[in-house]
Amino acid sequence: VEPAPTPAPVAPRTGRPDLAGFVQEVRRQAAGHAQGWTGNRRAYISHVWRHIREQRPDWGVSEIEFKCMLAEAHRAGHVVLANADLKDAKNIRDLQESAVVYKNAVFHFIRVDA
């Protein structure tokens, strides 16, 4: 009698989020990294991306995919993206890394309400 074949190891599934799960995590991360005053709090998109990449590797999402999902969440009205009004040398790298092009606009921030 031959021994039963050993099953091949199963690769771990990536837990890619649905839109609701993605938005919930983005809002949580943005709230934790927002700057500004009440009514005008914003988080750099690149800062939120870094934290999601570190804390949610199970998503298996690249930076490009993250930004596309973010633009889709903005289009659907689940998050509000904002552009940088004032740009100076001290934040230019954050702005460049945060840039999300959507239609005729370039966004750099995720708005945080409350």
Higher pLDDT, 7 or 46: 46
Find all residues with CB under 8 Å of 61, minimum gap 6, and list them: 16, 52, 53, 69
53-102 per-position pLDDT tens digit? 999 999 999 999 999 999 999 999 999 999 987 777 788 999 999 999 99
pLDDT confidence of 3, banded at 50, 70, 90?
A: low
CA distance 26 to 51: 10
Which pTM does this prediction carry?
0.82
**What pLDDT digit, counting tens, does each position of 12-62 carry?**
445 788 999 999 999 999 999 898 887 789 999 999 999 999 999 999 999
Q: Please give the pLDDT value at position 78.
A: 96
